[in-house]
A and B are shown apart, each in its own frame.
Chain A
Amino acid sequence: MSGPVLMLFAYMALFMLFITLPIAAVVVISFSDSSFIAFPITGLSLKWYRHIVEYQPFVTSLATSIELALASTVLGAVLGVPAALALARSRRALAGVVANLLLAPLSVPAIVLGFALLYFLSALSFGLSFGALLIAHTVAGIPYIVRTVLATYRALPRDLEECASILGATRGQVLWHLTLPMVRPGIFAGGMFAVLTSLDNLPLSFFFGTATTNTLPVVMLSYMENQFDPSIAAISTVQMLIAVSCLFVLDRIYGVERLTAV
């Protein structure tokens, strides 16, 4: 291997280290037996995991976050998938405009959107509630789903639907037997992004917090601003494990390759 190439390989090794080090550090700290954040750690203990289970806000907010992520993604899919199918094959200029509108939330800083939605919804007396959170997260999640479904559907040969039609399938049958199964990887890929973004979304959720409805990131942040101990590390690790195991389960059932083969 030549010099420059060798350097590239070395760079990659450093890069992977760079990427994983903070995450590894947090996982390690979560098993620390001391209340100080110190590295290297002095001893091992599971006490912080016990602590977070006892700390009610962590548990309820984790449940809320998961519910919210799933609900907003499902709602986003119900709204976004039909639109993506309609937009993908349209040649009108309006279709481009609409598509860009549906993707626009990606470009808006979440903190601004959250702020605007908060005041708008409360003007409608919608108030701080799970419903308001749901609306906000759905708005944020729709672009991911629309984007991947657009790409997947555009890549499908148009012939297939025409073929199904001439074989006798009604529009509904074509959708159910042909289009949706073939677009499924796009829906799942987009859905996964939407779920992950929702779980981690602080700027959006932060405006809608109440004593009873709060998402995990918001609770974690306020905890960090008051107490700085390895509980954060423990709950972060738990959150990561949930995300990873979901991916695992999805892979088992569908095969992530097939799911995300956009």
Chain B
Amino acid sequence: MSAPLPLRLVDVSKSFGGTQVLKPLRLDLAQGEMLALLGPSGCGKTTTLRLIAGFEAPDAGSIVINGRDMTSMPPNKRGLGMVFQNYSLFPHMTVGENVAFGLKMRGVGKAEKTQRVRAMLQMVRLEQMADRHIHQLSGGQQQRIALARALATEPSILLLDEPLGALDKNLREGMQFELRDIQRKLGITSILVTHDQEEALTMSDRVAVMAQGEVVQIGRPTDVYDRPRTRFVSEFLGTANIFGGVVKGATGENCWLVALDLQPQIEGLVASSDALALGQRVTLAVRPEKLMIGPPAPSAIEAWVKDVVFRGAYFAYELTAHGQDRPLFAYSQAREVAVQNGTVGVSWAPGSAVILQESA
């Protein structure tokens, strides 16, 4: 019999004033994993976090932490740690007092408290700051102190509510790695709520994409990115080029030919381990970096180059193809692939296209 899971949400749902914000949700967390709840605002990710923390009570379902049903337990008895969006550092206390707060509430002895605070500050590389006041710290420093404070009490689960949202872009990237590093080193089970897909992909072991109160897809970052299940997921995580078409037939091992809804009509290939029916309508998604641009060719989609933008690490091409109501995007690192107003042929390898489920 293995140890109980750090967290199990069993059919947890929540409504606010008549609107169902969270549909019955089932979620299990593995020991030591970092799960990202990713989605646009209003998708229910923050509500889920607050239910786990105990600031709201679910309408139905149960929240089981380490095998114990904590659904009716107040927040101060759940043994969790949380980093808030605005850090929520106590302004009238010093850094050291902030970090020690959780320990103080537990009645930890002075010696042990001091030692633990020092250890935490060392972990976030701010040992010198113990006596400073909060307003003397920079945003990045405040964030690290908030983390130190949350971890000081050795919580069973760490909750992170958009922890990097308030930081500058440069700082954010550095902190993403640092946070992940600390989480891995301590092996602490964590849940990260964010609307930033890059953050979710960088920092997590698993990503749960949420929309309108439910989890639309959950899986490892690479899986969710490469094989999005719905149009929403494909467009929320990065950019996607969407094509509609009808299945014409199979052309080999798990390879299918699809007549695309473009003018003039052209066929594209898609790899799928599922069996597809002839005449079946499908929606394909291809990532911009997988879209290949070359000189116009009969087997390639004819497209006109609307714009070329240099983005530092690559060139982004905005293309228009007949029959496609939205522009296509292709990324390439090569400089001379195409010029503005030129005509190109667009194609992709069969394994680069993904079939989306029709819903959403």
A binding-site residues for B, Cβ under 8 Å: 157, 159-160, 162-170, 173, 177-178, 181-182
The answer to whether B82 and A166 have CB atoms under 8 Å apart is: yes
B149 contact set on A, CB distance < 8 A: 167
The answer to whether B86 and A166 have CB atoms under 8 Å apart is: no
The answer to whether B76 and A170 have CB atoms under 8 Å apart is: yes
Subset of 24 A-B contacts with CB under 8 Å: A159-B86, A160-B90, A162-B53, A162-B75, A162-B84, A162-B88, A163-B82, A163-B88, A163-B90, A164-B105, A165-B54, A165-B55, A165-B74, A166-B75, A166-B78, A166-B80, A166-B81, A167-B101, A167-B153, A169-B101, A170-B105, A177-B101, A177-B104, A181-B92
Does B312 belong to the interface (CB within 8 Å)?
no
Quote the shortest CB–CB distance from B225 to chain A (angstroms).
32
Which of A157, A162, A166, A177 counts the most chain B CB atoms within 10 A? A166
The answer to whether B76 and A163 have CB atoms under 8 Å apart is: no
Separation of A162 and B80 alpha carbons in the complex (Å): 12
B binding-site residues for A, Cβ under 8 Å: 53-55, 74-78, 80-82, 84-86, 88, 90-92, 101-102, 104-106, 149-150, 153, 159
The answer to whether B90 and A166 have CB atoms under 8 Å apart is: no
Separation of A217 and B84 alpha carbons in the complex (Å): 53
Chain B residue nearest to A182 in the complex (CB):
B92
B150 contact set on A, CB distance < 8 A: 167
B105 contact set on A, CB distance < 8 A: 164, 167-170, 173
A164 contact set on B, CB distance < 8 A: 90, 101, 105
Separation of A192 and B92 alpha carbons in the complex (Å): 22
Separation of A165 and B88 alpha carbons in the complex (Å): 12
The answer to whether B106 and A166 have CB atoms under 8 Å apart is: no
Which of A162, A170, A178 counts the most chain B CB atoms within 10 A? A162
Q: Given A164-B101, A166-B53, A168-B153 in contact, is the A178-B74 Cβ separation under 8 Å? A: no
Quote the shortest CB–CB distance from A157 to chain B (angstroms).
7
Q: Given A173-B105, A182-B92 in contact, is the A165-B86 Cβ separation under 8 Å? A: no
A170 contact set on B, CB distance < 8 A: 76, 105
Quote the shortest CB–CB distance from A224 to chain B (angstroms).
47
A178 contact set on B, CB distance < 8 A: 90
Besides the known contacts A160-B90, A167-B76, 10 further A-B residue pairs in the complex with CB atoms under 8 A apart: A159-B84, A163-B88, A165-B54, A165-B76, A166-B76, A166-B82, A167-B81, A168-B153, A178-B90, A182-B91
Separation of A114 and B84 alpha carbons in the complex (Å): 50
Separation of A177 and B81 alpha carbons in the complex (Å): 19
Chain B residue nearest to A160 in the complex (CB):
B88
Quote the shortest CB–CB distance from A180 to chain B (angstroms).
11
Quote the shortest CB–CB distance from B25 to chain A (angstroms).
21
Partner of A166, one of B54, B85, B92, B104: B54
Separation of A159 and B83 alpha carbons in the complex (Å): 10
B78 contact set on A, CB distance < 8 A: 166
B80 contact set on A, CB distance < 8 A: 166
8 tightest Cβ-Cβ pairs between the two chains A and B: A167-B102, A168-B105, A159-B88, A163-B88, A165-B75, A169-B105, A165-B76, A166-B75
A167 contact set on B, CB distance < 8 A: 76, 81, 101-102, 105, 149-150, 153
Separation of A169 and B76 alpha carbons in the complex (Å): 6
Q: Given A162-B55, A182-B92 in contact, is the A168-B76 Cβ separation under 8 Å? A: yes
Separation of A157 and B88 alpha carbons in the complex (Å): 8
Separation of A167 and B105 alpha carbons in the complex (Å): 8
Separation of A99 and B205 alpha carbons in the complex (Å): 50
Separation of A245 and B172 alpha carbons in the complex (Å): 52
Chain A residue nearest to B97 in the complex (CB):
A177
Separation of A159 and B76 alpha carbons in the complex (Å): 14
Quote the shortest CB–CB distance from A259 to chain B (angstroms).
13
Chain B residue nearest to A164 in the complex (CB):
B101
Separation of A165 and B82 alpha carbons in the complex (Å): 10
Separation of A164 and B91 alpha carbons in the complex (Å): 12
Quote the shortest CB–CB distance from A188 to chain B (angstroms).
14
A177 contact set on B, CB distance < 8 A: 101, 104
Separation of A258 and B101 alpha carbons in the complex (Å): 23
Chain A residue nearest to B146 in the complex (CB):
A163
Which of A163, A167, A178 counts the most chain B CB atoms within 10 A? A167
A163 contact set on B, CB distance < 8 A: 82, 84, 88, 90
B75 contact set on A, CB distance < 8 A: 162, 165-166
Quote the shortest CB–CB distance from B202 to chain A (angstroms).
25
Separation of A159 and B75 alpha carbons in the complex (Å): 13
Chain B residue nearest to A169 in the complex (CB):
B105
Quote the shortest CB–CB distance from B56 to chain A (angstroms).
10
Which of B54, B82, B150, B153 counts the most chain A CB atoms within 10 A? B82
Quote the shortest CB–CB distance from A6 to chain B (angstroms).
39
Separation of A159 and B82 alpha carbons in the complex (Å): 11
B54 contact set on A, CB distance < 8 A: 165-166
Separation of A182 and B89 alpha carbons in the complex (Å): 13
Chain B residue nearest to A258 in the complex (CB):
B92
Chain B residue nearest to A173 in the complex (CB):
B105
Separation of A182 and B88 alpha carbons in the complex (Å): 13
